[in-house]
Structure 1
Amino acid sequence: MFTDKDIRQIENHGLTQDKVIEQIARLKSGMAFSNLVEAATINKGIFKFDKHEIQQYVDLYNDRLNSLNVLKFVPASGAATRMFKFIYQFLKDYHEDEERLGHYLKTHKNFWVFVNGLEKLPFFHEVVSQIPNYATLEIEEKYIAFVNVMLGENGLNCSSCPKGLLPFHKYNEEVLTAFHEHLLESTLYASSNNKANLHFTISEGHAKKFQEELSRIQEHVEDKTGTKFEVSFSYQSKSTDTIAIKSNNELYRTPEGHLLFRPAGHGALLENLNSLDADLIFIKNIDNIVVLEQNKKQSEFKKLLAGVLLDAQEKAFNYLNELDKDSVSEQKLLEIAMFLTHRMNVKLDAEFDDFTFNEKVSYLYKKLNRPIRVCGMVKNEGEPGGGPFWVKGSKGDVSLQIIEFAQIDVDNKAQKAIVKHATHFNPTDLVCGTKDYKGNKFNLQNYVDHNAAFITLKSQNGTEIKALELPGLWNGSMADWNSIFVEIPLSTFNPVKTVNDLLKPAHQVL
């Protein structure tokens, strides 16, 4: 199948022939859809706590914080290109004509929202400062000049900027990037003993820019917050890239005759997460960050998730120590089984009651001794899609999972009906415990559902190709973790997917 030149390319990529052959087989066999049993809802996979309970968990976390090594993990490799898609469409479709402009604004709501909110954009004054005589220009000239400077290589070049380094918020005269805001936010819930550890996964091509931004702001932020920042970066490893093939299952080759390898989605970041050493790891996307005053309110819900994890982890560790003893009782085994069922959302084997005593000990030990994640879930007030579901695995076991919409066979009426009953979705707001009861790091690669990979159709130089994405970081890559889902307010979810999202109240300093 492979030439000597191919083999050298594979090896230079940090891959093996067997690994690539396995990827090709997966692409050829097609994507395995998840087998949904029912949507996870309140009291059926999602916990909802009252104010008193929330405060108890927050207090627990606050009490333990200074004895913990806490880290905040932020996927930040994406460029801002997609944020400006409708702006590029304007540049392509619009021709200067005042009457046509009015029509264009009526028929393109996104652009109408954008131009009506120009002055609220955090980079408005920086853009305008680069446009001679901006105030005297005709309205259509203003819009065209503004977007050209905003996007142009000789201007702000926003669309080519890493999303993490895009200006997100403006406080009086100070403009802060998303990266800057994450440092500030970490002091509210993810710092201990006046020290905050943050790890950003970035594109290698953006490394210099991130380092420059850190150098520019670190001393100022440390003085302002009284916190010492330890910031590290990593890249998505080339060895996690996956091969692409044509839609007819033949190998795709570039015009130069090379095989085509592509980044394998955020599931590839499991390797980055696996290399980190911390007691608690918060995970939050780079674009889901709001202005500081709102962060102060929302930080309580991060502490809630961490408190829930610490409480569950302490109980799990105590039970694991009990299972290590020769004197563990049958009554204790029943107590552990109830804990797994009611707190860890583990569906026990239907034959568990018929297991021998030693079989029960071994079974419960394996179920308990796993990484733990506590994930925030918000009410779904829009169209139903991916989120928390009870899912049946290939061996017939049922478990609680976070499922992407792409993993659901919506052509199957029964599966589609389950999706319609979904009440919550995943805002990617979670805290992880990645050490066992003896203080050793889990090897997170041992808890992945490799069948939960994604297959997508792309276009490469005019040829349709099939691309493989590894199981999502908080989807299939954490499939065999113990999972606890907790309802948190919708106000905690404010991602910036388009430039217009920066105009929303959560991103405006009032």
Structure 2
Amino acid sequence: MFTEKDHADIEKRGSNTLTVKQQIENFISGFPFLQVIKPATVGDGIIQLSDAETVENVKHFEDSTAAGASILKFVPASGAASRMFKSLYSAKDDLEAGVPESEVKSKKDIQYFFDNLTKFAFYEDLKKIAGKAPEELPAVEVLTLVLTETGLNYGNLPKGLLKFHNYTDGNRTSFEEHCVEGALYAKKNDGNIAIHFTVSPEHQPKFEEHLAEIQAKYEKEFDASYSISFSQQKPSTDTIAVSPDNSPFRNDDGTLLFRPGGHGALLANLGELDADIVFIKNIDNVVPDYMKPETVKYKKALGGLLLNLQKKIFSYQEIFDTHHYYALDSIFFSEAASFLENVLNVQPPSPQYYTEKEELYYYLKNKFNRPIRICGMVRNEGEPGGGPFWAKNSDDSVSLQVVESSQIDFDNPEQKQLVDSATHFNPVDLVCAFKNYKGEKFDLSEFVDPATGFISKKSQNGKELKAQELPGLWNGAMADWNTLFVEVSIQTFNPVKTVNDLLRKEHQPEG
């Protein structure tokens, strides 16, 4: 199947032939659908904090960070923002093909873009490049200046470097908004704010340049110091592509084609970081300053809840680590099993785990010795993407999982009905901890469910191929973590998927 040159290329990428062969086997056999048991709902898998509980958890978080708990904010920021501008690219192509401007603008989203051009945070930059008011230019020239390197080049830049919000003292990119947001809940007692961005290799120099431009301003504003770091998706996490017949896809020069393994590949980057608490949030989910208090409140509340949970889990970890099963009495086992099932939401594979003492000991020990994540969940208002469910795991236990639509067998009427009845949506709002009671980091690769990847159809140079994505970062990559779901305000979820989303009131100045 592979030549000597192939083996050398695979090794150079930091992978190995066995891994690549397993990926090809995955194409042949496919990935099994996840068995959803029921949606997680408020009171049945989703915690709804009262006002008093929210205040209590916020205080606990603030007290803990004041006592020296280290915090880090992790932001996946890779890739170009080209999908944001899909409709603009289409309009540009039509105009360049001779379609009348009036006809192109008859499309609702295109007309809306041009009608509200002055409201975009990048308007002044566009005006400066154009040398005049952009609305005075033909539409094709405006689109060319927005999208291509002759102007702002927004079609080729990552979302983190696009200007999102208007301010009187200078408009901000989403990268800047994450820096500001980090100062409001991730500032340590020594004044340091640690934020890690995963970026594409071709974009990292531009991120570093942007950081150099804005760092001093925000350090002065927040009386803080920023520790901003960057990493790139590792080549070893790329997955091989195959032809429709499942044979390795080869480029025109005969070399194997590897493709990025999706956001699940960032688990390796996450695992290299060192902090007591790690917040994870997507690059495009930021809001102007007047809306940040709600986000900050819930971030701190989730952080406080995690620290309280972790304290109890640590106590169990230490007991299991320092005692043999025959030295522990039935009362302890009963309490530990109840905590696992009723607090950590892990239901055992069968009742035998409650009757066989030795098996129960090792089952509980393994379940408590895992990373922890608390996931904010918002009410489902029709956004596409994953959601919170109770699902069966590979060891036949049942636990809370963030499930993507690609993991669901929609041809199964019962599974489809369960998914359609879901009440909440995953906004990618996570607080994580992956150290044990001794302060040692877990190896995150040990807690991945490898059966939760998925396959998609793509093309390369006009040839069809199949691509494979690794288990998603907050899906299968964290499938074997201890997990809690908490309802958070819908105001904390304001993603930017298209350029016109920046015109929503949540991304415009107050009032």
Q: Which 10-residue stretch deviates more, 45-54 or 443-452?
A: 45-54
Q: C-alpha distance in 2, partners of 1:5/1:360? A: 49
Distance 1:385 1:156, change over 3 A: closer
- The equivalences for 1:193-232 within 5 A come to 193=189, 194-232=191-229
**Which 5+ residue runs of structure 2 have no aligned equivalent?**
none
Corresponding residue for residue 75 of structure 2: 74
Q: C-alpha distance in 2, partners of 1:126/1:494? A: 24
Corresponding residue for residue 416 of structure 1: 416
Matched, 1:287 2:284: yes
Q: C-alpha distance in 2, partners of 1:371/1:134? A: 53
Corresponding residue for residue 176 of structure 2: 180
Alignment root-mean-square deviation, CA: 1.8
Q: C-alpha distance in 2, partners of 1:263/1:484? A: 29
- The equivalences for 1:196-345 within 5 A come to 196-323=193-320, 324-325=322-323, 328-345=328-345
Q: Which 10-residue stretch deviates more, 59-68 or 471-480?
A: 59-68
| TM-fit CA distance, 1:103 | 4.3
Q: C-alpha distance in 2, partners of 1:133/1:440? A: 59
Distance 1:296 1:223, change over 3 A: same
Corresponding residue for residue 164 of structure 1: 160
Q: C-alpha distance in 2, partners of 1:131/1:243? A: 44
Kindly indicate whether the alpha-carbon contact (under 8 Å) linking 1:385 and 1:419 is maintained by their aligned counterparts in 2: no
Q: Which 10-residue stretch deviates more, 211-220 or 256-265?
A: 211-220
Q: C-alpha distance in 2, partners of 1:74/1:487? A: 21
Kindly indicate whether the alpha-carbon contact (under 8 Å) linking 2:95 and 2:140 is maintained by their aligned counterparts in 1: no
Distance 1:449 1:133, change over 3 A: closer
Aligned AA for 1:69?
Answer: S
Corresponding residue for residue 461 of structure 1: 461
Kindly indicate whether the alpha-carbon contact (under 8 Å) linking 1:322 and 1:328 is maintained by their aligned counterparts in 2: no
Q: C-alpha distance in 2, partners of 1:220/1:115? A: 33
Question: Given the two structures, how large is their TM-score scaled by the length of structure 2?
Answer: 0.95
List per-residue Cα deviations over 1:24-58 (Å, max 9, x = no partner).
11111123211111111111111111111111111
Corresponding residue for residue 120 of structure 2: 121
List per-residue Cα deviations over 1:259-281 (Å, max 9, x = no partner).
10011000000000111111000
List per-residue Cα deviations over 1:246-297 (Å, max 9, x = no partner).
1121221111111100110000000001111110000011111111221122
Corresponding residue for residue 185 of structure 2: 189
List per-residue Cα deviations over 1:32-91 (Å, max 9, x = no partner).
211111111111111111111111111111111122011001101121111111001111
Kindly indicate whether the alpha-carbon contact (under 8 Å) linking 1:128 and 1:146 is maintained by their aligned counterparts in 2: no
Q: C-alpha distance in 2, partners of 1:381/1:206? A: 33
Kindly indicate whether the alpha-carbon contact (under 8 Å) linking 2:238 and 2:258 is maintained by their aligned counterparts in 1: yes
Q: C-alpha distance in 2, partners of 1:195/1:353? A: 46
| TM-fit CA distance, 1:360 | 2.8
| TM-fit CA distance, 1:135 | 7.2
Kindly indicate whether the alpha-carbon contact (under 8 Å) linking 2:82 and 2:155 is maintained by their aligned counterparts in 1: yes
Distance 1:105 1:376, change over 3 A: same
Corresponding residue for residue 48 of structure 2: 48
Q: C-alpha distance in 2, partners of 1:350/1:257? A: 51
**Which 5+ residue runs of structure 1 have no aligned equivalent?**
none
Q: C-alpha distance in 2, partners of 1:124/1:372? A: 43
Kindly indicate whether the alpha-carbon contact (under 8 Å) linking 2:353 and 2:359 is maintained by their aligned counterparts in 1: no
| TM-fit CA distance, 1:220 | 1.3
Corresponding residue for residue 154 of structure 1: 150
Q: Which 10-residue stretch deviates more, 14-23 or 354-363?
A: 354-363
Q: C-alpha distance in 2, partners of 1:201/1:383? A: 25
Secondary structure in 2 aligned to 1:370? coil
Question: Given the two structures, how large is their TM-score scaled by the length of structure 1?
Answer: 0.95
Matched, 1:93 2:94: yes
